[in-house]
């Protein structure tokens, strides 16, 4: 059985019902929108985020569940889908999950409007049901994701990202939505504020480890979903590169920055940068940092009794740092 299927086992029924509720949450009176959202639903990803919502909800309440939990998971998935649609426009990307992206099939104007529609659907789902505590958690995530993306764009122009700024960016860009998933899972079953905040932290740590793992893929020799060196080609400052820039000589630093700024489309030069980062301890340092965040997440789970839901979350943490794509 695949790792994701194993993780899903204790919430298999909930996930099946969720898919139906999620489809219903996307419905519109506009036929074009329904055609596009049908296309989105058919090409769904692993649905890790709803899994976080359900597993955390059940773990903190000893198997309890609420209709609010389904709504929370739907809100998260609607917002996540909206950000992916908008991301593809921002990145001028024509592919998503191996299929054509919305902007590739229906052009940018429609893709932006579809993203806006999904965002409003998510927010209204919470407002209509007076889930204001869940709405607050997701709204914080949306704000932080936008700020993180803009911070990255600003810093990428100058290539002056410190490790501290890097962690700020990935906490906001990637980790904040997983933090919201875990917080919403706890809040949906009536957990107290301390538990909600603790679960948010848990999600944040996993989200940071997830993004660091993504950074490592850029230096991987294995065949994966994204090509090696793509982050360098796009002038994205990843942790292995930041660490190498901070520890190499002035001359080497000048060569690295020049390579990324002016030779990032040159395959041979990109390979040389990857080799240099590997030889200067960038990969070991990054792996160490990833495991630090993994251990912080594990430490939070130690506060909860053993259960199928906790075991699935433990599997999820392993999957995040061991995955091949």
Per-residue confidence (pLDDT) for residue 224, from 0 to 100: 47
pLDDT in tens, 71-123: 999 999 999 888 888 777 777 777 666 677 787 778 888 888 888 998 999 89
Contact residues for 220 (Cβ-Cβ < 8 A; gap 6+): 228
CB distance 64 to 195 below 8 Å: no
Above pLDDT 90, what percent of the chain? Answer: 40
Tell me the CA distances in angstroms from 315 to 6, 123, 291, one per residue in order.
Answer: 8, 31, 15
Q: What ranges in 46-95 are assigned the alpha helix state H?
A: 48-60, 67-90
Task: Quickly tell me which residue has 């906001």 as its tokens.
Answer: 172
pLDDT at 125 over 70: yes
In angstroms, rounded to a whole number, what is the distance separating the alpha carbons of residues 40 and 43? 5
**Assigned fold of 3-322:** Farnesyl Diphosphate Synthase (1.10.600)
Burial of 272 (0-12, 13-18, 19+ CB in 10 A): middle
Query: Taking Cα atoms as reference points, which of 92, 77, 90 lies closest to residue 41?
Result: 77
List pLDDT tens digits, range 228-240: 667 776 667 889 9
Predicted structure pTM score: 0.88
Share the mean pLDDT of the chain: 86
CA 199/CA 205 separation, integer angstroms: 10
Report domain extents, the chain: 3-322
Q: Within 13 Å of residue 18, how many CA atoms lie on the same side as its CB?
A: 28
């Amino acid at each position: 059985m695949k790792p994701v299927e194993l993780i899903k086992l204790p919430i298999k029924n909930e996930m099946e019902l969720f898919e139906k509720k999620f489809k219903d949450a996307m419905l519109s009176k506009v036929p074009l929108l329904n055609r596009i959202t049908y296309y989105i639903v058919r090409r769904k990803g692993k649905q890790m985020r709803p899994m976080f919502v359900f597993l955390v909800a059940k773990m903190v309440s000893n198997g309890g569940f609420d209709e609010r939990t389904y709504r929370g998971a739907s809100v998260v998935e609607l917002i996540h889908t909206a950000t992916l649609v908008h991301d593809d426009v921002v990145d001028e990307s024509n592919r998503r999950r191996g299929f054509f992206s919305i902007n590739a099939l229906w052009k940018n104007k429609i893709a932006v409007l579809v993203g806006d529609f999904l965002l409003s659907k998510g927010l209204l789902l919470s407002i209509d049901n007076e889930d204001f505590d869940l709405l607050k958690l997701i709204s914080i995530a949306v704000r932080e994701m936008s700020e993180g993306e803009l911070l990255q764009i600003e810093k990428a122009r100058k290539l002056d990202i410190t490790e501290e700024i890097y962690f700020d960016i990935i906490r906001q860009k990637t980790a904040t939505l997983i933090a919201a998933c875990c917080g919403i899972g706890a809040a949906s079953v009536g957990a107290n504020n301390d538990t909600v905040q603790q679960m948010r932290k848990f999600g944040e740590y996993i989200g940071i480890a997830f993004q660091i793992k993504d950074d490592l893929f850029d230096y991987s020799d294995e065949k994966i979903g994204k090509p090696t060196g793509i982050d360098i080609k796009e002038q994205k400052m990843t942790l292995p590169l930041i660490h190498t820039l901070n520890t190499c000589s002035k001359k080497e630093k000048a060569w690295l920055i020049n390579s990324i700024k002016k030779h990032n489309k040159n395959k041979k030069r990109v390979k040389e940068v990857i080799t240099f980062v590997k030889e200067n301890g960038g990969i070991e340092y990054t792996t160490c940092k990833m495991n630090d965040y993994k251990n912080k997440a594990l430490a939070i789970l130690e506060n909860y009794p053993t259960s199928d839901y906790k075991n699935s979350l433990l599997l999820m943490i392993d999957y995040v740092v061991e995955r091949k794509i």
